Structure 1
């Protein structure tokens, strides 16, 4: 019997395909997100929606606003969760200045 080849994970958790279809994207920037424990578990389970999300600049920092991360029932039983809260984007200062212009 032959072994089945599994796909290697690409590292991408969520994509906004509608934005690529509706808009012309000039360049691409990769950023990290400041998350809590339950959000990490939900993202790994694929419970993320990027529709109607955007980046907001406030006091020299960038925030992802409007993204929905649905809490898992077993991971967030004792916490009060806010699924659509603004999450800080982790970027270097040079990258923030380049994007903000």
Structure 2
């Protein structure tokens, strides 16, 4: 019998590569997004960006700010699209309470990592993070360079 081949195309829509550089990440969560119809169409067209996005916890709810979803030119005339509106994140109550506790008591921040498709739904991967100092960033760069050199030397042998 023939096996079905899985799609190899990536489900990732947008990534925040800067987050891994600027923060040391602790735990990650998967959150749903409350979106409007035109936003989903724009995301399908690849017009989403989360590099400048951040997350705020207000009254026990999580909101995504600064994410840019550029409206399509064909957007309907009766809709007034707003590129950078705040979008509510959908999380379980236990996850929200854990995030709120870590942010308020332990000084963590919540950062968006990636926006991706899960089935027909758009999900946002978020993480608890602590800011890195400049010397931490330099040490991480040195380690990455050394690992690259190590791999190159091993490949030559």
Structure-1-length-normalised TM-score: 0.85
Residue in 1 aligned with 2:91? 91
Question: Which has the higher Rg, Structure 1 or Structure 2?
Answer: 2
Q: Give a deviation string over 1:13-49, Cα, whole Å, max 9, x none.
A: 2211111122111121111100000000111111111
Alpha-carbon shift at residue 7 of structure 1 (Å):
4.8
> Counterpart of 1:25 in 2: which secondary structure?
strand
Shift of the alpha carbon at 1:100?
Answer: 1.2
User: In structure 2, how many angstroms separate the alpha carbons of the residues matched to 1:44 and 1:73?
Assistant: 14
Q: Is residue 41–residue 75 contact of structure 1 (8 Å, CA) maintained in 2?
A: no
After the TM superposition, which residues 22-33 of structure 1 pair with which residues of structure 2 at under 5 Å, given as runs?
Answer: 22-33=22-33
Aligned length: 97
Coordinate RMSD, CA, aligned: 1.8
- In the other structure, the counterpart of 1:47 is 47
Distance 1:24 1:76 in 2: 42
List alignment gaps of at least 5 residues for structure 2. Answer: 102-157
The answer to which structure has the higher helix fraction is 2
Q: Which stretches in structure 1 are left out of the alignment for 5+ residues? A: none
**Whole-angstrom CA distance in 1 between matches of 2:11 and 2:98:** 24
Alignment TM-score, normalising by the size of structure 2: 0.56
Greater RCO structure (CA 8 Å; 6+ sep): 2
**Alignment correspondent of 1:68:** 68
Task: Give 3-state SS (helix, strand or coil) of 1:95's partner.
Answer: helix
